[in-house]
């Protein structure tokens, strides 16, 4: 059993924030320092990603290890009180996360997950350097895909022009025969 009363637990839970958490603020500060410009919690995108980097077509979710069930992490343990509730809650969070990721990827966004524990002092520099490399790689892939789409569009427009020109020539020939 918990040593806290129901009202104490309720008060503690009401203090848990869903946006602008300390790990999120830390990551945003580091990204800004590196020159990345971003949007915060863009509600136009599925799941309102914590950080949106439109230039790189990348979204970042900063997940709390407990709330999103980070496997093999010391910060994630199922509470002994009301365990079945917490197992269901965290399982539903994971399912929701996967649905959101699929939707974003279908919209051609790259999704990056940063876990709360990866932003500890001992891992911060390594996490930031890996994140920076991944963001730049996503940006390059986005630019390549954009160029490919532009080339396909040009090819399609050229094909349509050739067909249109052929049709005009054919119509002129028909008029001349009549």
User: How far is 71 from 120, CA to CA, in rounded Å?
Assistant: 17
Span 106-153, pLDDT tens digits: 999 999 999 999 999 999 999 999 999 999 999 999 899 889 999 999
What is the CATH superfamily name and number for domain 18-141? Answer: VSR Endonuclease (3.40.960.10)
Q: Return mean pLDDT, the chain.
A: 90
Span 49-58, pLDDT tens digits: 999 999 999 9
> pLDDT confidence of 155, banded at 50, 70, 90?
very high
How high is the pLDDT of residue 18?
64
C-alpha distances out from residue 16 to 10, 13, 22, 120, Å: 10, 5, 11, 19
Secondary element (H or E) of residue 18: none
């Amino acid at each position: 059993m918990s040593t806290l009363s129901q009202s104490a637990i309720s008060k503690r839970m009401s203090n848990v924030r869903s946006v602008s958490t300390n790990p999120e603020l830390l990551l945003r500060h580091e990204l800004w320092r590196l020159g990345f410009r971003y949007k915060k919690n863009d509600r136009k995108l599925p799941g309102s990603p914590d950080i949106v980097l439109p230039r790189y077509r990348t979204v970042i979710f900063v997940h709390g290890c407990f709330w999103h069930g980070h496997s093999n992490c010391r910060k994630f343990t199922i509470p002994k009180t009301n365990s079945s509730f917490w197992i269901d809650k965290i399982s539903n969070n994971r399912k929701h996360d996967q649905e959101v990721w699929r939707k974003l990827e279908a919209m051609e966004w790259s999704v990056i997950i940063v876990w709360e524990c990866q932003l500890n002092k001992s891992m911060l520099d390594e996490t930031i350097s890996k994140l920076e490399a991944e963001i730049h790689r996503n940006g390059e892939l986005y630019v390549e895909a954009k160029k490919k789409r532009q080339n396909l569009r040009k090819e399609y427009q050229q094909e349509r022009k050739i067909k249109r020109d052929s049709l005009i020539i054919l119509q002129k020939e028909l008029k001349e025969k009549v």
